[in-house]
Structures are given as structure tokens and as C-alpha cells.
Amino acid sequence: MRYTEAPARRDELLRRLGAEGYVSSAGLAAEFEVSEMTIRRDLRQLATEGLARRVPGGASLPGADGVGVPFEERDRSGGVEKRLIAAACLPLLDGAVTVGLDAGTTVAPLARLLAPGTRVVTHSAPVISACTQRDDVDLVAVGGEYQPTTRSFAGSLARHSLEALSLDIAVLSATALDRSGLLCANTLDAEVKQAMAASARMCILLADASKLGARAPIRFGALDLVDVLVTDDRAEPHDLALLRGAGLHVIVAETGAADAVVALPQP
């Protein structure tokens, strides 16, 4: 089948990566009836966006083999906005006793902000570390197969552990989201997000503006998987209107309040 337009071709490459975990440049060039150079250019662009990892002869999913954009690199990107998003989420957690915190650089700052007495359920190593430094929260650490890229535990053990628990609220992260749903970069991460959401009475998604309208290879749920989206005011009005039009309740964190940033606990 011919894919002469780059956006359609790259969308198909992402779909193949999500389904198979690896794509071959030569094989796709023959199938799509384009040059191998064209496919390599597509894969290079997807790698630049953090959606693919270049390997000899093609590309694989970032994080599928534990290699991808490092957690620390993502944590440095938009750090102020992410901390303000976490602060804007905090009022939504009032009265919640058991809160699940997903892995992700936007969710991690919540660990230092949660009310005393909160029971925290998480598979995120940074959240586990932050909670062990507090003596006023209860921690349930979910184990499993460690993923260096997300600094979290995943796999069947993590999934089964979450399925056995009951959460008042789950706070999730995503690599991207659009009207088609919530997207992430690897299947292990997707399974844990789905299990955490299924165990919760209410789900909140934290996603900075760069995630809105972006692309990632795996859809882990429709928009109605979550009840509320908390993002920041760099988001395009068009993207916000589309998400609200799809029925999602959206809260926008204001990033202009510099003193609010100073007041937040440092990671």
C-alpha cells in the first residue's frame, strides 16, 4: 500500500511499532513503495520526537528494551509547569484516603505535596523514594520488572498487585493525548496504567501542554478513562476546545505566578 504523504506514513509507522515493537526500513520501503531513504528520514523524525529508537536496519519502541529518553531528561523539560500542574491537582485529592500515583515526571512532584495521612500506592521509583522521606504518609510500593526509562516497575506482578487494590483516586500520566485517546510509549507501561485506572473510583490525568495533540505508538485508553485533565496554560486553545468538546473536564494551571513556583517543595 502506498503512503505518499509523510503524516500518514509516520502514523502507520507508529502503529506498526506499537503492534510489533520493531520495524525494518528496507521492508517498509518496499511495502510503502517509497525509497529506503524516505523511511529512514521518517524514523529519524520519530526518534527526534522521542517516539522511536533508531536501531540497525530500522527502529524499535523507546523503552521496549529499557532504552529510550531518560527519565532525568524528561524531568528537566518543563519542570516549572509540571510542578504547577501537580499543585493544581492537589485540591482534587481532598478527602481521598488511598491515592495511586502513576510513573511520570508530571505526577512525581505530587509525592511531596500530598496531605498527611494519605495512603500512597505507586510503582514509580521516584515517588517511592519521596514517600520514604516522609513519616506522615503510608506507602504501598508495587514491584515488578524495573524499567530504567520510566524509573518504574511494570509487568505481570505490578499489574496483578494493582488489580487486587482499591483506590479512591488514580493520578495518571501519558506520553500524548488527542481526541483518539490516551497514548504511551510501551506495552508494559500501558498495562500498568490500565490496571491502576480500573482499580480507582476516580481518575485524573496530568499532562503538560506539550503532550496535547502529540503522538505516541500505544493507546492505553479512550478519553473517558479519566475524569479530569490537568494541564498548563501553554496549551493551544484549539486543543483544549477539542478535548472539552469530547467531554473531558479540563483544569488549566496558570504558569505566570512565579511566587507559586517558589512555594512548591523542591524535588
CATH of the domain at 176: 3.40.50.1360
Asked if pLDDT for residue 219 goes beyond 60, the answer is yes
More confident of the two residues 267 and 184: 184
> What is the average pLDDT across 87-114?
95
If one counts every other C-beta atom within 10 angstroms of the C-beta of residue 101, the result is 29
Residue 49 is predicted with a pLDDT of 78
User: Do residue 56 and residue 76 come from a single domain?
Assistant: no
Give CA–CA dist 138/174, Å, rounded: 25
Q: Between the ranges 6-15, 18-27, 222-231, where is the mean pLDDT highest?
A: 222-231
Q: What is the value of pTM for the model shown? A: 0.72
Asked if pLDDT for residue 70 goes beyond 70, the answer is no
User: Do residue 86 and residue 168 come from a single domain?
Assistant: yes
In degrees, to the nearest 5, what angle opens at C-alpha 49 toward C-alphas 45 and 55? 60
- Whether 197 is covered by a domain: the verdict is yes
User: Do residue 77 and residue 159 come from a single domain?
Assistant: yes
Q: Using only C-alpha atoms, what is the Rg of the chain?
A: 19
Confidence of residue 158 (pLDDT cuts 50, 70, 90): very high
User: Do residue 77 and residue 201 come from a single domain?
Assistant: yes
User: Do residue 197 and residue 96 come from a single domain?
Assistant: yes
Give CA–CA dist 237/233, Å, rounded: 9
Residue 57 is predicted with a pLDDT of 77
User: Do residue 81 and residue 138 come from a single domain?
Assistant: yes
Contact 219, 181 (CB under 8 A): yes
User: Do residue 28 and residue 76 come from a single domain?
Assistant: no
Residue 60 is predicted with a pLDDT of 80
User: Do residue 12 and residue 81 come from a single domain?
Assistant: no
Of 1-5, 49-53, 70-74, 185-189, the range with the lowest mean pLDDT is: 70-74
The alpha carbon of 78 is separated from its chain's Cα centroid by a whole number of angstroms, namely 14
User: Do residue 106 and residue 195 come from a single domain?
Assistant: yes
Asked if pLDDT for residue 143 goes beyond 90, the answer is yes
Asked if pLDDT for residue 249 goes beyond 80, the answer is yes
Asked if pLDDT for residue 160 goes beyond 50, the answer is yes
Average per-residue pLDDT for the chain: 85
Residue 191 is predicted with a pLDDT of 94
Contact 112, 137 (CB under 8 A): no
Give CA–CA dist 122/152, Å, rounded: 9
3-state helix, strand, coil in the chain (%, to 5): 40, 25, 35
C-alpha cell at 12: 502507520
Asked if pLDDT for residue 229 goes beyond 60, the answer is yes
User: Do residue 160 and residue 238 come from a single domain?
Assistant: yes
C-alpha cell at 47: 526518534
Give CA–CA dist 128/31, Å, rounded: 46
Asked if pLDDT for residue 267 goes beyond 50, the answer is no
What end-to-end distance do the CA atoms of the chain give, in Å? 49
111: region left, alpha or beta (phi > 0 left; psi from -120 to 50 alpha): alpha
Residue 63 is predicted with a pLDDT of 55
User: Do residue 77 and residue 137 come from a single domain?
Assistant: yes
Asked if pLDDT for residue 58 goes beyond 90, the answer is no
Give CA–CA dist 69/89, Å, rounded: 26
Number of structural domains in the chain: 2
Asked if pLDDT for residue 73 goes beyond 80, the answer is no
Asked if pLDDT for residue 240 goes beyond 60, the answer is yes
**Domain housing 229:** 72-263
- Whether 66 is covered by a domain: the verdict is no
- Whether 216 is covered by a domain: the verdict is yes
